[in-house]
Amino acid sequence: MTIDGYCTLGVDREYDLTETSLLNAMDRARVERAVVVPPDRFLAVYNQDGNENMQRAVRAHPDRFISTCSVNPWYGKASIEEFRRAVLEGARMLVLHPFVQGFSANDELVFEVLEAAAEERVPVYVHTGPPGNSTPWQIVDLAERYPELDLIMGHCGATDFWNDVPDATAAAPNIYLESSLARPFHFARYMEVLGKGRGILGSWAPLNDLSFEWEQMRTFIPPDVFSEICGTNLARLLAKRGAT
Amino acid sequence: MIVDCHTHWGMVWEERYQGNPVEWLSILDRHQIQKAVFMGHGNLTRPDLCETENDNLVRMARQFPERLIPVGSCWPQQGKKGVAEARRLIETLRIKGLKFHPWLQGFTVADPFLGQMCGLAGEAEIPVFFHDGTPCYSLSEQIAGLARRFPSTRFVLAHAGLLWNWRSALLAARLPNVWVCLCGPHMRAIELLCRYADPDRILWGSDFGFGLSDQIEYRLNLFRRARISNPLRDQILKTNPLHLWAQ
């Protein structure tokens, strides 16, 4: 099973990934399935529109795409309602982007959303990295508070929080590392230190070229590690709620 | 001809090869990189090693003058002593550029002694490289602030804003004395920087040398696979770096 753990599907500002272009890129890279996420605008404000767009894409290609949803916790109760609605419609991962959505990752603002994700047995992907309101150790705060919740540390804090990644990830068993922006040569090292069960390969197409990222990962990562991070680990998290 | 405008003589290389860059250069050979902007590591992390490291960089560059362009560093927190080291770099060692890493070195760009150093670089007509893209001391817009204060000095944003600050790097590059080095941004940011920044002030770099691993392959292929016209790609890899020192 090969799954690309993070692709932004849509056309907006620097994003230009259509369903067709994503499918073509997946075919070129021998990727069976891709987790699809709405562009930033839909993470920040138009949550329901973005979530519905992903659901439509998954209905059109149920064997290729895996739906996510995002809610901005500033919307309070409405964000919880939208999250539960999206999950009922098929979303299998919650995406939070504290930089774009305007909160600190470990702010109590997000707690109710995470509680709902834990209840729904849906993993939570959190973008991490500069400017500093979503860092590896903030993810540890969340992981300790919600030990039953699987948290995916998007981009491994790249670039400037890379120093924190090994210790922070080792501090909580429910943290997984997603590779996009972390670069294959660094990600290979993380897997060496933390074990191959903690890695999830994501390209973050179209900011990165999907085929190129997969090709580079196949070059840099030892085959026995690659076979786990290229989809097996993520599939295990997604399966907690049932078949995707 | 490819010029890598962002490399380091890492502390691990110094520990292993003690001032002998032959093995280091063989990695560049693997990727057909003929010339490299050759920056330190020890001089960016240890003020007590700074002078020794600067001497070491220049000595290695003199062994391979066609391949290595030495760029030294100094420490604003050392006050007059730091400024004296900047003068020694420029006047005695004939250094080709200064490199600052405010995040690692732990100073703000508002430091008055840094201002003196930037002024000296401008008088000597050598570029000043800055780590950029990192809060809170190394943001691209902070370097742009220096460029406004020192219009006769050329500043290189050595990471073009990295992954999250590239829009700021693009804005900074509107200033005529700011150059951007494509070393760190993701592919789409590279494409947009190439589309909107002045094509004559764009460089490419790998950041090779901090560790022993070869990250040039990834960085160079990332740049080669980006949607950029071939003439512009060649200009960035070959022509622009030479112009940085020819002005």
CATH fold of B3-246 reads: TIM Barrel (3.20.20)
Query: Which residues, other chains included, contact A78 with Cβ-Cβ below 8 Å and sequence gap of 6+?
Result: none
Domain count, chain A: 1
- Is this complex scored with an ipTM above 0.85? yes
What average pLDDT does this structure show over B40-44?
A: 97
Point out the residue among B187, B213, B215 whose CB comes nearest to the CB of A209: B187
- Flag if B163 and A185 touch (Cβ within 8 Å): no
Chain B environment of A212 (Cβ under 8 Å): 187, 221-222, 225
pLDDT one-digit tens code per residue, B137-177: 999 999 999 999 999 999 999 999 999 999 999 999 999 99
Parent domain of A21: 3-209+232-238
Residue A105 C-alpha, separation from nearest chain B C-alpha, in angstroms: 17
Query: Is the pLDDT confidence value at B208 over 90?
Result: yes
Q: Determine the pLDDT at residue B122.
A: 98
Residue B84 C-alpha, separation from nearest chain A C-alpha, in angstroms: 31
Chain A environment of B226 (Cβ under 8 Å): 209
Does A95 reside within a domain?
yes
Domain boundaries, chain B: 3-246
Strands B155-157 and A151-154 come out as unpaired
CB A36 within 8 A of CB A15: no
Does A68 reside within a domain?
yes
Point out the residue among A185, A212, A220 whose CB comes nearest to the CB of B222: A212
Identify the CATH number of the domain in which residue A139 sits.
Answer: 3.20.20.140
Q: Which residues of B touch A (CB under 8 A)?
A: 103, 133-135, 162-165, 184, 186-189, 192, 213-215, 217-218, 221-222, 225-226
- Flag if B135 and A158 touch (Cβ within 8 Å): no
What average pLDDT does this structure show over A176-198?
A: 96
Does A221 reside within a domain?
no
Chain A environment of B188 (Cβ under 8 Å): 14, 206-208
What average pLDDT does this structure show over B124-148?
A: 97
- Flag if B215 and A185 touch (Cβ within 8 Å): yes
Chain B environment of A159 (Cβ under 8 Å): 133-134, 162-163, 184
Q: Determine the pLDDT at residue A155.
A: 98
What average pLDDT does this structure show over A162-172?
A: 97
Query: Is the pLDDT confidence value at B247 over 60?
Result: no
Query: Is the pLDDT confidence value at B113 over 80?
Result: yes
The DSSP string of chain A is: --EEEEEE-EEETTEEE-HHHHHHHHHHHT--EEEEE--HHHHHT-HHHHHHHHHHHHHHSTTTEEE-EE--GGGTHHHHHHHHHHHHTT---EEE-HHHHTS-TT-GGGHHHHHHHHHHT--EEEE-BTTTTB-HHHHHHHHHH-TTS-EEEEGGGTTTTGGGHHHHHHT-TTEEEE-TTT-HHHHHHHHHHH-GGGEE----BTTS-HHHHHHHHHHHS-HHHHHIIIIIHHHHHHTTS---
Q: Determine the pLDDT at residue A243.
A: 67
pLDDT one-digit tens code per residue, B214-232: 899 999 999 999 999 999 9
Q: Count how many pairs of residues, chain A against chain B, have C-beta atoms within 8 Å.
A: 57
- pTM value is 0.96
Q: What percent of chain A has pLDDT over 70?
A: 99
Does A223 reside within a domain?
no
Residue B148 C-alpha, separation from nearest chain A C-alpha, in angstroms: 24
Q: What percent of chain A has pLDDT over 90?
A: 98
Residue B222 C-alpha, separation from nearest chain A C-alpha, in angstroms: 8
User: Residue B246: pLDDT band by 50, 70, 90 thresholds?
Assistant: confident
What average pLDDT does this structure show over A157-169?
A: 96
Residue A171 C-alpha, separation from nearest chain B C-alpha, in angstroms: 25
Query: Is the pLDDT confidence value at A14 over 60?
Result: yes
What average pLDDT does this structure show over A122-145?
A: 97
Q: If you average pLDDT over every residue of chain B, what do you get?
A: 97
Q: If you average pLDDT over every residue of chain A, what do you get?
A: 97
pLDDT one-digit tens code per residue, A29-75: 999 999 999 999 999 999 999 999 999 999 999 999 999 999 999 99
- Flag if B188 and A14 touch (Cβ within 8 Å): yes
- B27's enclosing H/E stretch is helix B22-30
User: Residue A244: pLDDT band by 50, 70, 90 thresholds?
Assistant: low
